[in-house]
A and B are shown apart, each in its own frame.
Chain A
């Protein structure tokens, strides 16, 4: 375009138009994303409490962060979050990978399977939560009825009221909902692995396990890394299920990081401490993601194709 005499002016005009078109979106994002991120960081060094309908902020510097170290609720939430996150990542990736491999087999290549997979994913998280509240109901829950019939339990159990079981039951409900998306992600990855690699491996006499280990797994490196990172972030952020199923109970046995930050901020109205907890959660997610990327090294050239 530079060879036309009006070139530079046209380019200038287009750039000015560009600024004009980008501006509204950027203003919105500055207001709803950038400003809150910075403001949260500032709040985390302050004591912010509502007083007579207004918010009063006073500087307390590192008090909020120091208090985290001695807060028993933080220790509880940390322990629960670690258990939940590890359990979630291992179970979801394991089940989703199995499902993806099954659906990639000629027997599993019916469109219907994929549609079925979409349903748990599309159900609203809150609808999923009340569904599981009902399934796990201590008096009339169908899980109790089925397990009793199969002889696996001798009496109805109050799954969500039991200190030892509640968190595992929340985990079950979340795994069921989370598997489909990850399975679809991994399935797309499997379909990107060229068939000739399998044929070559077979010619070289590779067993089923060797083909999985040396063709499938390396081919899935990028989607697997993405799946692990996403699932970790989702597990740390889990909120809807806790809010509906247990509110953190019994006795804080299902209290998790995100719910604690919510409770401190919006139930105890300690906005400064809540902001400190929120920033700690962000930091944990960031560090974990960076570690994953470093360890799993995604981005092998071929599997970068668009899913």
Chain B
């Protein structure tokens, strides 16, 4: 065997290994998702056959309809989650953009130290925060209300939103704002008419982050909800348990709950890595 052939075989082997690796990666990542989709489409009888009877002829929408038909099963919790996630996002973007702009541009003394402190508080695990907040909210009769959840969710959403936006505001050339002020615009007018329109991408990134995190949040929701404002993750968790056997509906519900976020993640994927690596240390 000459040198050239050996080299070619070597390269072929390496390419083969890479393709095999990609194949394993695909199976490892997609198999659970595929099983999720199949389960939601299979009737109960096929699911409790050993091994499961995966026959496309059996496919049915019964699980999905079962989850969607009775409002109390999932739809009500979708509304609760939407209210909480939208309110949290809107509040965080409003408060966060104003504060971030002030710190980035309006020479608030100690602004950068303040931002570092805001970041440092995100090191604290949720359990540290929720114990006093639970006591506070029960005294204020805000347990099991939308407002209670939104207040608590701001604790991990607002800091991240502030960090994303402050970074962006600092990167805008200051000349534009100066020009607006020379033309007689007030600070608020400059912010609203010059800065905000340029800031749509980071506002979007921050908004997507805030929405997804509030939509998926479970730990605080377990503690703060009873009967009235059960969010989607709470309803999903109620399907599980040793004595629950509605496997098809459980998985269909989990899938339906995940679809909005998966779509958001895929559509806004460019913004996400930035937002989430900033927010990753959240409590």
User: Which of B56-64, B65-73, B126-134 forms contacts with chain A?
Assistant: B126-134
In B25-49, which residues have CB < 8 Å from any A CB? 25-26, 28-30, 32-33, 35-36, 39, 47-49
> Considering the chains assembled together, what is the distance between the CA atoms of A36 and B240 in angstroms?
32
On whether the beta carbons of B51 and A107 are closer than 8 Å, the reply is no
On whether the beta carbons of A36 and B257 are closer than 8 Å, the reply is no
On whether the beta carbons of A115 and B269 are closer than 8 Å, the reply is yes
Is A261 engaged at the interface, CB distance under 8 Å to the other chain? yes
Please tell me which one of the listed residues B33, B128, B281 contacts residue A40 in the complex, with CB atoms under 8 A apart: B128
Secondary structure at the A interface, as helix, strand, loop or mixed, is: helix
Return A191 CB to nearest CB of chain B, in Å: 11
Is B195 engaged at the interface, CB distance under 8 Å to the other chain? no
On whether the beta carbons of B102 and A127 are closer than 8 Å, the reply is no
On whether the beta carbons of A21 and B98 are closer than 8 Å, the reply is yes
Is B229 engaged at the interface, CB distance under 8 Å to the other chain? no
User: Which of A73-81, A162-170, A192-200, A271-279 forms contacts with chain B?
Assistant: A271-279
In B227-247, which residues have CB < 8 Å from any A CB? 232-234, 236-237, 239-240, 247
Is A133 engaged at the interface, CB distance under 8 Å to the other chain? yes
User: Which of A63-71, A82-90, A238-246, A292-300 forms contacts with chain B?
Assistant: A238-246
Is B75 engaged at the interface, CB distance under 8 Å to the other chain? no
Given the interface pairs A230-B281, A282-B128, the reply to whether A134 lies near B250 with Cβ below 8 Å is: yes
Contacts of B258 in A (CB 8 A): 122-124, 127
Please tell me which one of the listed residues B106, B125, B212 contacts residue A21 in the complex, with CB atoms under 8 A apart: B106
On whether the beta carbons of B102 and A22 are closer than 8 Å, the reply is yes
> Considering the chains assembled together, what is the distance between the CA atoms of A231 and B159 in angstroms?
20
On whether the beta carbons of B32 and A140 are closer than 8 Å, the reply is no
On whether the beta carbons of B129 and A32 are closer than 8 Å, the reply is yes
Is A258 engaged at the interface, CB distance under 8 Å to the other chain? yes
> Considering the chains assembled together, what is the distance between the CA atoms of A289 and B122 in angstroms?
13
> Considering the chains assembled together, what is the distance between the CA atoms of A105 and B16 in angstroms?
13
Please tell me which one of the listed residues B25, B33, B131, B216 contacts residue A36 in the complex, with CB atoms under 8 A apart: B131
Is B180 engaged at the interface, CB distance under 8 Å to the other chain? no
On whether the beta carbons of A149 and B51 are closer than 8 Å, the reply is yes
Contacts of B215 in A (CB 8 A): 124
On whether the beta carbons of A14 and B107 are closer than 8 Å, the reply is yes
In A100-136, which residues have CB < 8 Å from any B CB? 102, 105, 107-108, 113-127, 129-135
On whether the beta carbons of B262 and A18 are closer than 8 Å, the reply is no
> Considering the chains assembled together, what is the distance between the CA atoms of A306 and B171 in angstroms?
13
Secondary structure at the B interface, as helix, strand, loop or mixed, is: helix
Contacts of A152 in B (CB 8 A): none
Return A158 CB to nearest CB of chain B, in Å: 11
Return A139 CB to nearest CB of chain B, in Å: 8
Contacts of A145 in B (CB 8 A): 50-52
Please tell me which one of the listed residues A15, A129, A258 contacts residue B106 in the complex, with CB atoms under 8 A apart: A15
On whether the beta carbons of A22 and B125 are closer than 8 Å, the reply is no
Please tell me which one of the listed residues A55, A119, A126 contacts residue B29 in the complex, with CB atoms under 8 A apart: A119
Please tell me which one of the listed residues B32, B39, B154, B239 contacts residue A28 in the complex, with CB atoms under 8 A apart: B154
> Considering the chains assembled together, what is the distance between the CA atoms of A230 and B280 in angstroms?
7
Contacts of A132 in B (CB 8 A): 32
How many residues belonging to B are interface residues under a CB distance threshold of 8 Å?
94
On whether the beta carbons of B236 and A43 are closer than 8 Å, the reply is no
Minimum CB distance partner of A121 in chain B = B265
Contacts of A105 in B (CB 8 A): 18
Residues 98-140 of chain B, each 1 if its beta carbon lies under 8 Å from chain A, else 0: 1101110011110100100010010111111111111110000
On whether the beta carbons of B261 and A124 are closer than 8 Å, the reply is yes
Contacts of A21 in B (CB 8 A): 98-99, 101-102, 106
> Considering the chains assembled together, what is the distance between the CA atoms of A122 and B254 in angstroms?
12
Is A211 engaged at the interface, CB distance under 8 Å to the other chain? no
On whether the beta carbons of B131 and A275 are closer than 8 Å, the reply is yes
> Considering the chains assembled together, what is the distance between the CA atoms of A55 and B276 in angstroms?
37
In A204-245, which residues have CB < 8 Å from any B CB? 226, 229-230, 233, 236-237, 239-240, 243-245
Please tell me which one of the listed residues A19, A107, A134, A281 contacts residue B19 in the complex, with CB atoms under 8 A apart: A107
> Considering the chains assembled together, what is the distance between the CA atoms of A10 and B234 in angstroms?
52
On whether the beta carbons of B121 and A129 are closer than 8 Å, the reply is no
Is A291 engaged at the interface, CB distance under 8 Å to the other chain? no
Given the interface pairs A19-B108, A102-B21, A185-B277, the reply to whether A239 lies near B219 with Cβ below 8 Å is: yes
> Considering the chains assembled together, what is the distance between the CA atoms of A184 and B103 in angstroms?
31
Please tell me which one of the listed residues A98, A122, A126, A285 contacts residue B212 in the complex, with CB atoms under 8 A apart: A122
Most buried by B among A123, A137, A286: A123
Minimum CB distance partner of B132 in chain A = A39
On whether the beta carbons of B29 and A116 are closer than 8 Å, the reply is yes
> Considering the chains assembled together, what is the distance between the CA atoms of A233 and B233 in angstroms?
22
- 10 A-B interface contacts by CB (under 8 A): A14-B187, A36-B131, A40-B129, A43-B131, A102-B22, A107-B15, A145-B51, A226-B280, A244-B237, A262-B219
10 extra interchain contacts, Cβ-Cβ under 8 A, other than A21-B102, A116-B29, A274-B131? A25-B158, A33-B124, A36-B129, A118-B265, A124-B215, A126-B236, A126-B257, A130-B240, A236-B125, A277-B127
